[in-house]
Structure 1
């Protein structure tokens, strides 16, 4: 089993006067899915390209298993770039077997492995078609197979779920789970925060090339702004007048609130009891989407 982690230390990349990635450091632990999120231009793709050696860093280093990553080491990594690297006029099966052989997999084994993954991603019947004849979602599935062939020691996937239907997402998740089960670290970027929240054991949030948050989702939730759900008899609009209470949303008898401190909480409770029956006051941990908005605001 692979028990090595990916470690990024102080990665920086400049393009003239532009600093696209600015002193980025994080760890993608062995056997875990690490989500890499940020808006367009945050530096996710540039960072992944430096990890894979496609771009040379201006400063910083990439380590795997505690050792600096070499060219030979990167040959054992699986990489899915943001731009598809497929040959549009070649049949799906032929080019995937060819790519697998470039990674040192014998032809019979490569063919069997490719056919198995195509079947699991719902493409078994399209193996002889040219890539350009496939829909964008199916082209994405073929690119995924190219990244997962063999037994990669690390997976770096740039927007792997983009364009996939729910069935294909489930198939992809199952494949990734098999890799993490044998200790492979998986780093993937995505704009689908609900999917990241469901899958990831670790999260790295970038903004303008810098790490704004890094940790397990549950730990990040503890540092986020705690909100409360209030339910009363009658309209809850009066909460807007309670000092120290910010009404995020009020919809009839239900209000979503941010409460500054214990004093504000006591004032809120007193006002609620004075006005009638208090039905509910429940603390709500912030969602990943809320944390993302807070740290990238």
Structure 2
């Protein structure tokens, strides 16, 4: 029972408002100082929908919308934010559950960290952000997002993400290719190469690093291919094991996150079997050529280019 005390002057009138919050859908009887009436409370159906979703992971620089063709690198933290929309005519609090199924069938429920159980007015909604999970397996991840309110399921959608083992490049800096003039030789030179190679990523990376080269004949005025025959006026980019057929190349290198190494390749004018770095096919460079050198990893990422003439 609700009551109010009202004081009126002679001939004065004023509206008196009572507020009632019905808890059930039924007819309610109302009586005010002998005046009776009634009202009917009806249940307003809730309606909501799962809408767009956002994703962020390395190496993205900002959140992006999830698309059907998205591919995610292996061993990265995947951050997801799922949007929902209130499509009813009453305000309600929405709750979103997000379940991930890994490629091997393992299931896990992600924990919401932002905007869970927030109220939204009609035709409004929220992005619910979830704690990240790690893409530890290559393959297809299935995710099911479910929207509910007060235990009533309003919508559910399923989408997938594909995780691939992406080849990650090294970075190259301070690349030097130095000509070594062979003592007493009139026809040959050698090359000495150094470079700082860095893994800029958050995981260990293994790449084959190759010494790459091209040469231009000043005698014939054209680029020469790796086998020594004349090119057709175009430049040939060659892996250096094609120079001498048995030169040890490329070099497999493994670097931990943030690790760098000082790569060094020592040129030899006269290979010495007692030298620990000896190889019988260490390249000797003939004269009258312009030589162009660089390093390249398995992703095609290259160092700066350096050149010299023999």
Higher helix share: 1
Q: So what's the TM-score if we normalise by structure 2?
A: 0.22
- The structure number with the bigger radius of gyration is 2
- Greater share of residues in strand: 2
Higher RCO by CA contacts (8 Å cutoff, separation 6 or greater): 1
